Amino acid sequence: MRPDFVKLIEVGPRDGLQNEKQFIPTEIKISLIDKLSQTGLSYIETTSFVSPKSIPQMADAKEVITHINPNKDVTYGVLVPNVQGMQLAIAHQVKEISIFTTVSETFCQKNINCSITESLERYKTVIHLAQQNNIKIRGYISCVVGCPYEGKMSPLAVTNLAETLLKMGCYQISLGDTIGIATPGDIKKLLYVITAKIPVKKLAVHFHDTYGQALVNIYEALHWGIATVDTSVAGLGGCPYAKGASGNVATEDVIYMLNGLDIKTGVSLDAMREASIFISEQLHRPPYSKVTVAQMKE
Ligand code: HMG
Ligand code: MG
């Protein structure tokens, strides 16, 4: 079942930076995206067209999407929560959007200020507009294993929601362990249930690394045939509306593991490390990666 090639969805500029308390200057966001565009990645989640009151860090979404230097081999996705965001995505010639909901009613209210059912109603119009404009739609389900407010979530509820989103028009569902509590045992149970109903090529995994489980969870997911993995340069990330959500799994760690498994990604570890060092310096943090590639070659 293990794939020969894994597509990495780089979410650092969006999921990574959205959680930073200090506003990061727009030109730094643009430089990060431009560096990531030269690593071999084929997909970068660039920013969010969300309410700046909810996520102040993404208030410069229009400037970011307008001023990046696009690489023709890269898809620049954006997160969209409602029609207002969709209209902005259309106005900025975005080719792909992600919509996001969850199996936890409480998290849904905190994150997007509506119930799960209301979120699906909202997305009907968003999806209709996207389809009219030939924009592809990816779907996220958050809190697939556990929610900071409601505890454990049911794999069956995740499966039903994923089926609904696929029927509505999403081409893929990214399964979000938003607070990073899953273990490989949880991922096995979830994928056992969901892959009985949904073809694995329509699924991706999106793991935060709160308890250091993200890499082993990805390793488990690979054995179920998962071939799309969301990652974040320098392990940046978190969701301001999910207490306890820490960084996403680091892109460079995932590339390192996949290289060791002879699974191709098309992404250069060296170039990713450079992007990682760049953003770590800009955020005044020590470099994320502990070992340089040069040291590893010695
Ligand atoms: P609301 O307050 O109910 O919305 O928020 P509203 O329609 O009443 O609008 C409130 C204000 O926001 C208005 O401005 C709107 O114009 C503005 P005002 O008139 O007061 O000046 N507004 C917008 N501005 C720009 N773009 C828009 C937009 N929409 C409204 N699209 C809403 C509802 C959904 C808008 C809000 O709750 C929101 O934006 N939430 C986004 C939260 C978010 O981005 N969370 C993080 C991403 S999810 C995540 O990280 C999980 C994930 O990584 C997967 C995982 O890890 O599990 C994806
Ligand atoms: Mg996330």
Residue 204: how many CA atoms within 13 Å on its side-chain side? 23
Over the stretch 245-297, which tens digit does the pLDDT of each residue have?
779 999 999 999 999 999 999 999 999 999 999 999 999 888 887 656 556 55
- Cα of 48 to ligand 1 centre, how many Å? 9
Residue nearest (by alpha carbon) to ligand 1 atom 15? 51
Residue nearest ligand 1's atom 40 by CA: 112
DSSP result, 111-157: HHSS-HHHHHHHHHHHHHHHHHTT-EEEEEEE-SSEETTTEE--HHH
Residue 137 bridge partners (DSSP): 97
CB under 5 Å of ion ligand 2: residues: 15
CB crowding 237-273: b at 16 or more within 10 Å, else e = bbbbbbeebbbbbbbbbbbbbbeeeebebebbbebbb
Among 48, 51, 142, which residue has the most ligand 1 atoms within 8 Å of its CB, making it the best to mutate?
A: 51
User: Which one-letter amino acid corresponds to residue 286?
Assistant: P
**Could you give the CA distance from residue 99 to residue 137 in angstroms, rounded to a whole number?**
7
Nearest ligand to the CA of 103 is: 1
Segment 98-139, tens digit of pLDDT:
999 999 999 999 999 999 999 999 999 999 999 999 999 999
User: Is 239 annotated in the active site?
Assistant: yes
The pLDDT score that the predictor gives to residue 245 is: 72
Ligand closest to 119 (CA) is: 1
Q: Report whether 249 contacts 214 (CB < 8 A).
A: yes
Q: pTM here?
A: 0.97
CA atoms within 13 A on the CB side of 294: 1
User: Measuring CA to CA, which residue among 214, 230, 235, 231 is closest to residue 277?
Assistant: 235
Ligand 1 atom 34: residue of nearest CA: 112
DSSP string spanning 20-76? Answer: -SSPPPHHHHHHHHHHHTTTT-SEEEEEE-S-TTT-GGGTTHHHHHHHS---TT-EE
Instruction: State the ligand closest to the CA atom of 248.
Output: 2
pLDDT digits (tens, 9 = 90+) for 201-241: 999 999 999 999 999 999 999 999 999 999 999 999 877 77
Write down the pLDDT at residue 98: 98
Q: Taking the CB of residue 12, how many other CB atoms lie within 10 A of it?
A: 29
Q: 4, 264 in Cβ contact below 8 A?
A: yes
The alpha carbon of residue 226 and the mean position of all alpha carbons in its chain are separated, in whole angstroms, by: 15
Model pLDDT for residues 94-109, shown as the tens digit of each residue: 999 999 999 999 999 9
Ligand 1 pocket, CB under 6 A = 15, 18, 48-55, 79, 81-82, 84-85, 100, 111-113, 140, 142, 176, 178, 206, 208, 239, 241
Q: What is the mean pLDDT of residues 61-77?
A: 98
Q: How far apart are CA 165 and CA 124, in angstroms?
A: 10
Q: How far apart are CA 17 and CA 139, in angstroms?
A: 20
Superfamily of domain 7-297: Aldolase class I (3.20.20.70)
**Do residues 240 and 247 lie in contact, with contact meaning Cβ atoms separated by under 8 Å?**
no
Residue 239: predicted pLDDT = 73
In the predicted model, is pLDDT for residue 184 greater than 60?
Answer: yes
Which of 108, 143, 170, 239 is catalytic? The answer is 239
Q: Which atom of ligand 1 is nearest to the CA of 141?
A: 57
